[in-house]
Structure 1
Amino acid sequence: MKFSIAFLLLMMGAVVGVQPPREKASLLYPYGLAQGDQKNPKLDDGTSKKVSLAVPFTFYSKEYRSLYVNNNGVVSFDAQVNQYTPDPFPLADGRPFVAPYWADVDNVLGGDVFYRETTDPTLLARITENINQYLPKIPFTATWAFVATWDHVAYYGSTTNKGNTFQATLTTDTKKSFIILNYWDIQWTTGAASDGDAETGLGGTPAHAGFNSGDDTNFYNIPGSQTDAIINITQTSNVNVPGRWVFQADDFKVPGVPPEVPKVPESNNCWL
C-alpha cells in the first residue's frame, strides 16, 4: 500500500523545482501557465478532468473526442489511468492510450503536469515544419494540437530532488494525425512502490514508453521500455533528433528507427 511522505519531505526542503538547461529548450514545445495551460492537481496517481476535444483525434483508426492526462505519464482516451506500475503491451483489458513515460509519478513531491488544446498559429506552424521535415512524403498542415507536459516530476517515495521532464503532443489536420514525444530530462525510471530505490529512482519495474491500441493486438514499445535502458531515452530517436520520437497515429506507422537502436521484440509494428 502506498503512503504519502510529501509533507515530511516538503518540510525538510527536499523537493526543489529545477528548470531544464536552456540549451535544450528548443526540443520542447512551449508549455506552462503563461501558455494558457491547465495544471493537474497535486495528487499521487491523480489525473486531469475529462477533456473534451474541439476536433476528433484518430488513434489506430478510431476517432476519440475526449481524453485524460494522467499524472503517471499516460494520455488515455476511454478512462483515467491511476495504475502506477506499468504493464507490458498489449494490455489484456484493452485500454487505448499513449504512454510517453508510464511510471509512478508523484507530483506532490515535486513537479507539475500541464496540458492544453490549442490552435495557436505559431505553434501549429512549428509542428507542421517538424512533421514535414521528418516525413516529407506525407502532405500535412497541422490545424489543431494538444500538448501535455510533465515538468520535473518526482517519483513516488523519492528522498531526492530528481525530476523527469517530457512531453506528448497530439496533432491533426482532421484527416491525418501524428504524435510527437519529447524527452528533455530523464533522471529516474521507477517509484518505490514499483520496487525502485527511494534514493536513486532506479531498479524494480522501470517505466514503459509506447502505444496501446485497445484491440489486444496492435501496439508499439519504444526500445528500452521496462528495462533500465529507458533512462537513456533522451539520447534515442526515430527521426534523428535525440530525445524525440514521432509517429503517425491514425493508421499507426513508425518512421524508420536508426540501425543502432534495436527494435523491441514481440511488437506488432507497421514501418514506413
Structure 2
Amino acid sequence: MVKMPHIHTALNTKFLEKVCAWCFDLFLFFCLGNFILLHHLFWGGMLVCLFEYSFFQVFLFFSVILGSRMLPSSVFFLLILGSMVDTKTSSEKGSLFYPYGSQQGDETNPKHDDGTSEEITLSVPFTFYGKTYKTAFVNNNGVISFNEPVKQYTPDPFPLADGSPFVAPYWADVDNVLGGDIFYRQTTDPALLEAISQDITQYFPKSPFTATWALVATWDHVAYYGSTSEKGNTFQAVLTTDSKMFYIILNYWDIQWTTGAASDGDAETGLGGTPAHAGFNSGDDTNFYNIPGSQTDAIINITTTSNVKVPGRWVFRVDDFQVTGVDPPQPNNNCWL
C-alpha cells in the first residue's frame, strides 16, 4: 500500500466528534432535566472518567453544565472517585516506567509520519553486539538506531540484509501526526540511575551494576498510520551502562494496535497485516534476537510477557554477542545469539 500525504485541516476530526458528543449531551440535559443528570453522574460520567477522559475533564464538564444544580455530595463523590482512579493508574504506570515527558526535560520528536529525532551524540558511547556507537536516532516507528535513521514503516524479519544495527522496542508504522508523542533524553540524574541500577542488579544479581548514564526514549499513546480510531501504544526503551556492561530495558504499558494501514492492517482496529517486530538486529547479518510473538498477532500481548518476571518488562545485556536473562534458544525459534 502506498502512503498518502496528510491533509491538514483547521480542526482535528476526532476533536470535533468529541465536541459534538458533549453538545448533544448538553441538549439532552436541558430537555430532560434531572433524569439525564442522574444518568450522566452514575453511568456516562463514571464510565467516561474510567475509560476515556481524565477525571478533571469530566469534573469540569459537569461543573460548567450543571452549576448550582450539582449537589455538594455529588461533587464530593466525584472528587473522591476521580482521585482514586487517577492515583491507581499513575501508581501502576510509575512502577513500570521510568519518569519521562517535558517536565523531565525530554526532547520531543517532530510531528511527522515516519519521522525521527535529530542525530543524538551520545555523551557516553554505547556498545551493542560488540561494536561501540557514538550516535543514535530515536525513530518514530518504534526503533532506536545507531549511525543512521530508520524510516521504514513495515517491519522485516531479522537479521536484516542491509547491515543496520538497531533496537526495536516496537517496530511498526507509528503516525504521531494522528496522535501521541515520542520523548527522549540522555540523563545522569542520580535518583533515576539509582532506580535503574537497583532494577538491573535485581534481575542480574551475579553482575553488580551501578549505572552512570542512560538514554530514555518513550512512545506515549502513539497512533498508527491510517487510523480511524483513537487507539494508542505506550512503551519505553532505556539504554544504560556503567562503562563496562551495557543493558537495554524495554517497558510495555499499553499496546492497543500492531499494524498500520500501509502494512495491510485494518484502519479501525490496527490489527492484521504485518504486525510489529520487537527485538534486536546486530547489523552483522547474522546475530539478532526476536521477543516472542514478534511479527505475529500475539505481539499485542507483550504487556503480559517478560524475561524478568515483571509483566511488560524485558531486560537484556547487549554489549557482547549474547542476550542474557532469557531461556536458551530452541530450534526454529528465530533466536540466534
The normalised TM-score by structure 1 is 0.93
Q: CA deviation at 1:266?
A: 2.7
Structure 1: stretches of 5+ with no match in the other structure? none
| Shift in Å, 1:257 | 3.7
1:203-218 aligned at under 5 Å gives the runs: 203-218=272-287
Which of the residues 162, 179, 194 maps onto 1:125?
194
SS of 1:137 mapped into structure 2: coil
1:138 aligns with 2:207: yes
Q: Alignment partner of 2:98: what SS?
A: coil
Residue aligning to 2:138: 69
Cα distance change of structure 1 residues 226 and 235 upon mapping to structure 2, 3 Å threshold: same
* TM-superposed deviation, 1:175: 1.1
Higher fraction of helix: 2
Structure 1 distance, partners of 2:16, 2:145, is 31
Asked if the contact 1:179–1:249 (Cα under 8 Å) also holds between the matched residues in 2, the reply is: yes
Higher strand share: 1
1:107 counterpart (176, 186, 191): 176
Q: Computing the radius of gyration over CA atoms, which structure comes out larger, 1 or 2?
A: 2
Task: Summarize the Cα distance change of 1:131–1:18 in structure 2 as closer, same or farther, 3 Å threshold.
Answer: farther
Q: Give the counterpart letter for 1:117 in structure 2.
A: Q
Tell me whether 1:225 sits opposite 2:294 in the alignment.
yes
Counterparts in 2 of 1:146 and 1:130: CA distance versus 1, 3 Å: same
Root mean square deviation, CA, Å:
2.2
1:250 pairs with one of 295, 313, 319:
319
Report if the CA contact (8 A) 2:97-2:236 is conserved: yes
Q: Is the 8 A contact 1:186 1:232 kept in 2?
A: yes
Which residue does the alignment assign to 2:12? 10
Q: Is 1:186 equivalent to 2:292 in the alignment?
A: no
- State the aligned residue count: 268
Q: Which residue of 2 aligns with 1:236?
A: 305
Is this contact kept in 2: 1:69–1:75, CA < 8 A? yes
Once the two structures are TM-superposed, the CA of residue 184 in structure 1 deviates from its matched residue by: 0.5
> Structure 1 stretches (4+) deviating beyond 6 angstroms?
14-20, 261-264
List runs of 5+ in structure 2 lacking aligned partners: 19-51, 55-85
Structure 1 range deviating more: 193-202 or 7-16: 7-16
Secondary structure of 1:233's partner? helix
* Aligned partner letter, 2:246: S
8 Å CA contact retained: 1:224, 1:264 = no
Relative contact order, CA 8 A, sep 6+: which one is greater? 1
Equivalent residue in structure 2 for 1:201, among 266, 270, 273? 270
Q: For the Cα contact (< 8 Å) 2:219–2:235, is it kept in 1?
A: yes
Query: Could you tell me which residue of structure 1 aligns to residue 334 of structure 2?
Result: 266
**CA 1:61–1:262 in 2, change beyond 3 Å: closer, same or farther?**
closer
Q: Secondary structure at the match of 1:131?
A: helix
SS in 1 for 2:12: helix
**Shift of the alpha carbon at 1:78?**
1.7
Indicate how the Cα distance of structure 1 residues 246 and 213 shifts in structure 2: closer, same or farther if over 3 A, else same.
same
Residue number among 116, 119, 134 corresponding to 1:50 in the alignment:
119
The one-letter amino acid of 1:2's match is K
